[in-house]
Amino acid sequence: MAENREFMNRRLHSLLGVIPIGIFLIQHLTVNYFATRGAESFNAAAHFMESLPYRIFLEVFVIYLPILFHAIYGLYIVFQGKSNTKRFGHFRNRMFLLQRITGVFLIIFIAWHVWETRVQAAMGAEVNYDMMADILSSNFMLVFYIVGVLSATFHFSNGLWSFLVSWGITVTPRSQQIATYATVVLFIALSIVGMGALLAFINPDLANI
Amino acid sequence: MSEQKKVRLIITRQEGPENNSYVEEFELEHRPNMNIISALMEIRRNPVNAEGKETTPVIWDMNCLEEVCGACSMVINGKPRQSCTALVDQLEQPIRLEPMKTFPVVRDLMVDRSRMFDSLKRVKAWIPIDGTYDLGPGPRMAENKRQWAYELSKCMTCGVCLEACPNVNDNSDFIGPAPLSQVRLFNSHPTGEMNKAERLETIMGDGGLANCGNSQNCVQSCPKGIPLTTSIAALNRDTALQSFKNFFGSDKM
């Protein structure tokens, strides 16, 4: 086993991106989406997540450790590649580059996002609708969050496509093509959910509901 | 009579493996049905550059001249391909020729593809039939399977897929698509299958299969149309099963 370290790391990297990180992303965006029903609904949903039993263990093993491994090993993968989309401009090669660009951007975005919400919460701030409304009241932060959420939904959808290939699930070109369509649909759907939530935080009509 | 058509070539040259590369331009008389090899032969016959100065002939590698040996691969107008089947009339001018820099450059357009042949040895890309006594006939191969395997056997180790791959470079020791596809070819042969686990173990090692980044440049640029990404995905499945066998199973093979 030890001699196949790289193989194991790569497969683990691919698996962790979907389970648990991908699942967590969907769950996170779903909780956010409660904001479209008003501040009170969102606060109730966020409070429910906050009050889960043994939360710190869930956070460490389902979120922090997998994301840390995925980010650090992912960065290592980025530095091993030399993108050549200028010479080979077809779809999959562009996705290869975009996957790396969004991955690196997500390290910055997630680091900032965790600092601004989870670390602040640990230091006594309350995570609620007002906190997000306050953050997103700045146009710069709004754009930063929009790009961040779209990067996350793209990186997950395209990563799911690669996961299916890396684990030998989609082998034939036809199955890979259909997986492309399916992950495009997933990307659009998750992006609508993500954007809906972000726009709900800057909607003054929803702040008082 | 109208003025004679010209062919302009911009060639990236290099004196030797340790030297810096430079660019030299050439202008040739156009002849009908010219390919890159015949253009380079013309330069060899009369090594004078576009400025009219005498220069050294451009060095390149070639052998079969019919796109089955893979020796004459180079980067032509940005795309790695064989120079024997690159017809001048079908190329945009000026034609830019560069060596495939994924490999060590020997001189000018000639590169050293040894790493590919070393990889084939590493993955044991052959059918072991030698013994100290007659091993007898092996199991038969179904005709439809033979036809399918023939497509994979068209690989001529030309190096185009390694040149096209973003993950084959000096930052990584990725073995590249061509030898991986050969693993699939020899693992599907009824006799070659007897060493299947051994080959899979090899490509599960460092610099192996897992380094593929799914850019699919290889399958897009393979001059023989080999389904390289299908081979890689199929091997992804085989190695996944192999790793489960290694971890959970008890029988070694």
Taking alpha carbons only, the member of B147, B168, B158 closest to residue B81 is B158
Interface mutation target, options B173, B201, B202, B217, chain A, most CBs of A under 10 Å: B217
The more confident residue out of A62 and B134 is: A62
Interface mutation target, options A84, A162, A177, chain B, most CBs of B under 10 Å: A84
B206 interaction partners in chain A (CB closer than 8 Å):
5-6
B249 interaction partners in chain A (CB closer than 8 Å):
none
The 10s digit of each residue's pLDDT in B169-208 is 999 999 999 999 999 999 999 999 999 999 999 999 999 9
* pLDDT computed for residue B129 by the predictor: 84
Q: State whether B134 and B224 are in the same domain.
A: yes
Residue B2: which pLDDT band, with cuts at 50, 70 and 90? low
Asked, for residue B253, whether it belongs to a domain, the answer is no
> Taking the CA atoms of chain A, what radius of gyration do you get in angstroms?
18
Q: State whether B243 and B130 are in the same domain.
A: yes
Q: State whether B105 and B200 are in the same domain.
A: no
Asked, for residue B160, whether it belongs to a domain, the answer is yes
Alpha-carbon gap, residue A195 to A181, rounded angstroms: 21
Taking alpha carbons only, the member of B153, B145, B252, B146 closest to residue B200 is B252
Weakly modelled stretches of chain A, pLDDT under 50: 1-2
* pLDDT computed for residue B65 by the predictor: 95
Taking alpha carbons only, the member of A192, A193, A194, A207 closest to residue A129 is A207
* pLDDT computed for residue A196 by the predictor: 96
Asked, for residue B235, whether it belongs to a domain, the answer is yes
* pLDDT computed for residue A209 by the predictor: 78
Is pLDDT of B4 > 90? no
CATH class of A2-207: mainly alpha
Alpha-carbon gap, residue B253 to B246, rounded angstroms: 8
Range of the domain at B168: 114-248
Q: Are B150 and B210 in contact (CB under 8 A)?
A: no
Amino acid at B212: C
Q: State whether B81 and B133 are in the same domain.
A: no
B215-231 mean pLDDT: 97
Alpha-helix residue ranges (DSSP H) falling in A34-169: 39-50, 55-58, 65-80, 91-114, 120-122, 129-136, 139-166
Domain end among B79, B111, B143? B111
Strands B6-14 and B95-98, sheet pairing: parallel
Alpha-carbon gap, residue B217 to A84, rounded angstroms: 9
The 10s digit of each residue's pLDDT in B111-124 is 999 999 999 999 99
Asked, for residue B38, whether it belongs to a domain, the answer is yes
- CATH code, domain carrying B57: 3.10.20.30
* pLDDT computed for residue A1 by the predictor: 46
Alpha-carbon gap, residue A69 to A74, rounded angstroms: 8
Domains of chain B: total:
2
Q: Is A90 annotated as a binding residue?
A: no
Q: Is B208 in contact with A87 (Cβ distance < 8 A)?
A: no
Q: What is the mean pLDDT of chain B?
A: 94
Q: Is A47 annotated as a binding residue?
A: no
Q: State whether B67 and B134 are in the same domain.
A: no
The 10s digit of each residue's pLDDT in A177-193 is 999 999 999 999 999 99
Q: State whether B123 and B242 are in the same domain.
A: yes
The 10s digit of each residue's pLDDT in B64-82 is 999 999 999 999 999 999 9
Q: State whether B64 and B86 are in the same domain.
A: yes
Please return the burial class of B106, using the count of CB atoms within 10 Å of its CB with bins 0-12, 13-18 and 19+: middle
Q: State whether B129 and B237 are in the same domain.
A: yes
Residue B1: which pLDDT band, with cuts at 50, 70 and 90? very low
- CATH code, domain carrying B156: 1.10.1060.10
Q: Is A168 in contact with B214 (Cβ distance < 8 A)?
A: no
Q: Give residue B169's region: left, alpha or beta (phi > 0; psi -120 to 50).
A: beta
Residue B134: which pLDDT band, with cuts at 50, 70 and 90? confident
Q: State whether B40 and B147 are in the same domain.
A: no
Q: State whether B182 and B204 are in the same domain.
A: yes
Interface mutation target, options B216, B221, B226, B243, chain A, most CBs of A under 10 Å: B216
Asked, for residue B152, whether it belongs to a domain, the answer is yes
Interface residues on A facing B, Cβ-Cβ cutoff 8 A:
1, 3-11, 77, 79-84, 86-88, 90, 92-93, 95-96, 161-162, 165-173, 176
Q: Is A165 in contact with B214 (Cβ distance < 8 A)?
A: yes
Q: Is A168 in contact with B213 (Cβ distance < 8 A)?
A: no
Please return the burial class of A200, using the count of CB atoms within 10 Å of its CB with bins 0-12, 13-18 and 19+: buried
Q: What is the ipTM of this complex?
A: 0.92
Asked, for residue B1, whether it belongs to a domain, the answer is no
Q: State whether B200 and B178 are in the same domain.
A: yes
Indicate the residue of B220, B221, B236 with minimum beta-carbon distance to A166: B236
Q: Are B110 and B72 in contact (CB under 8 A)?
A: no
- Calculate how close chain A gets to B221, using CA atoms only, in Å: 9
Q: State whether B236 and B208 are in the same domain.
A: yes
Q: Is A155 annotated as a binding residue?
A: yes
Residue B252: which pLDDT band, with cuts at 50, 70 and 90? low
Identify the closest residue of chain B to A171 by CA–CA distance: B233
